[in-house]
Structures are given as structure tokens and as C-alpha cells.
Amino acid sequence: MLIATWNINGVKARLDVLLAWLDERQPDIAGLQEIKNVDETFPRTELEARGWHVETHGQKGFNGVALLSRQAPVSVERGLPGDALDEQARFIEGVWRMGDRDIRVASLYLPNGNPIGTEKFTYKLAWMKRLEAHARHRLADEIPFVLAGDYNVIPQPEDARNAKAWVDDALFQPETRAAYRRLLGLGLTDAVRASTDKPGTYTFWDYQAGAWQRDNGIRIDHVLLSPEAASLLKSVEIDRHVRAWEKPSDHVPVVVELALGDSSPSIEA
């Protein structure tokens, strides 16, 4: 079973890229971030024509998340619990019945938080605290749980080509990285780092200053797995070739393979 996450950076602007990647990769479930439109204007017709089921939690002009899948989910919940006044569309999760077991998959777009010292950074840290509480609650269910998306967190210096360039950025602040470690401390597994410690493992290259051409990237798109999901992990791939396509997103997809209904050996995670 293939589960993917991708910050598409505007689904309307990059619909052709999305469709081409879906045709190529054929994931079972794909979480999108930064769809940048409301639910009513999401281009579901084009996706449904290719056999995709679409669930969205949109917002006009920015933010917005979605879940695409080959089969319809059993249930869907929109919005991260913990703040009834939060109107930003940054979280959606669904449950799918796969054979004789359920799997829960969330697509999240964690706040950027810049500039530091403003309410935006405060909101980022508060959002991460809510995410931690929600993850703890979901882990108690003891069913496979995948928490995937654009975290806007550079976990370690090796997750950036030039870590020194990010020391004053919200993505690399000690508080941000500590909040990410607390998520892992709940028992979640960072799927990419469970499969490789290879340097140069990035998921984002800025549009500016020739970042892609110079491979000046960072790793901020993460797939975190509950123990039940981590025990099923077979492989992880970052589809970095998509960054070289025409009109690409500045992020690339991260794809994990889980051995649902498969007796093949899994990665030690």
C-alpha cells in the first residue's frame, strides 16, 4: 500500500503536474497541502474522471489540505482539535478499511511561523502543541496511523544543505525542533530517517537563487508513523525528479509503502 504526501503549492496552478504524478506513481492514498482554494472550486471533476475519491478542507487563496484515494474512506474529520476559534484549514484525516483492518491517514500543513517574535511564531508552537495532544489521543487507538504533510520543520542540521542559513528562521528554531522531537517521543517514527541516513535527503527547494539547480534543499515534508504503521513499513521514496518538471511545486512528494495484507519483511523502524 502506497501512502504519499505532497505540498502542491496551488492545485489549480499545478493540476497537470498533479495528474501526471498520480498517473505515474499510483498511490493508494495521497495527502495534499497548500491547495489554495475552497472546497467548491477544487478541481475534483478532473480527478474523479481518473478514478480518484476526493476529500478536501479548503480555504480561499492560501492553506487548504486534501486527501485523494482509490477507495472512499470510512470516515473523514476536518480541522485540528484543540482550538475552536482556529479558522485556518490545515488538517484533514480519514480512516480507510483495508482488508480486515483499518488505517488512519492525516494530511497536515503546519504553520510556517515566520517572522520569529511575532504572533505567527506563537501560533506555530501552539499548533504543534495541539498536534502533539491529538497524536497522543490517536495513538491510544492502536490502529495504524500515518501523520503526513508539510511540517515546516527542519529536524536536524543534516536536513539542510546549509543549516547555518536557517538559524534565524522559524523552521529551525530550538523550540520548533523540540516540539518535533516531542512528537517522536510519543512513539512516532520518522519514516524517511527510518529508511536512510543519507545526506542530501531533501523535499523542498526554493524557487529563488537557483536552489534546485544547486541542490540547496531542506527536508521539511515528513511522514510520521505510529508503532502499528511503522511495523508495516517496507520502503520510502522521495520523488525528487518531479521538481524538474514544468511548473513544479517547490516541494516534492514523499511516498511510503506499507505491507498491509503483505507478509513481506518490513524495515526495522
Q: Has 251 been annotated as catalytic?
A: yes
Q: Has 207 been annotated as catalytic?
A: no
For 2-258, CATH gives 3.60.10.10
Please report, for the chain, the start and end positions of each structural domain, with discontinuous segments joined by +: 2-258
Per-residue pLDDT, 260: 86
C-alpha triplet 205, 26, 33: angle, nearest 5°: 40
Burial readout 227-242 (b: 16 or more C-beta within 10 A, e: otherwise): ebbbbbbbebebbbeb
Taking only the tens place, the pLDDT of each residue in 108-149 is: 999 999 999 999 999 999 999 999 999 999 999 999 999 999
Taking only the tens place, the pLDDT of each residue in 96-110 is: 999 889 999 999 999
Cα–Cα dist 103/96, whole Å: 5
Q: Has 190 been annotated as catalytic?
A: no
Cα–Cα dist 219/191, whole Å: 12
Using 50, 70 and 90 to split pLDDT, how confident is the model at 83?
Answer: very high
Sequence ranges of the binding site = 7, 34, 150, 152, 250-251
Sequence ranges of the binding site for Mg(2+) = 7, 34, 150, 152, 250-251
Active-site position among 28, 57, 109, 202: 109
CA 230 from centroid of its chain's CA atoms: 16
E strand or H helix that includes residue 202: none
Active-site position among 28, 57, 134, 150: 150
Taking only the tens place, the pLDDT of each residue in 183-238 is: 999 999 999 999 999 999 999 999 999 999 999 999 999 999 999 999 999 999 99
* CA-wise closest residue to 158 among 98, 97, 200, 102: 200
The yes-or-no verdict on residue 51 having pLDDT over 90 is yes
Spell out where the chain has E strands: 2-7, 29-33, 53-57, 65-69, 75-78, 91-98, 101-109, 145-150, 189-190, 221-225, 233-238, 254-258
Active-site position among 57, 134, 222, 251: 251
Cα–Cα dist 160/203, whole Å: 10
User: For residue 266, what are the CA distances in angstroms to 226, 234, 244?
Assistant: 14, 5, 31
Mean pLDDT across the stretch 20-24?
98
Cα–Cα dist 221/207, whole Å: 17
Q: Are 246 and 207 in contact (CB under 8 A)?
A: no
User: pTM, whole model, 2 decimals?
Assistant: 0.96
Taking only the tens place, the pLDDT of each residue in 163-177 is: 999 999 999 999 999
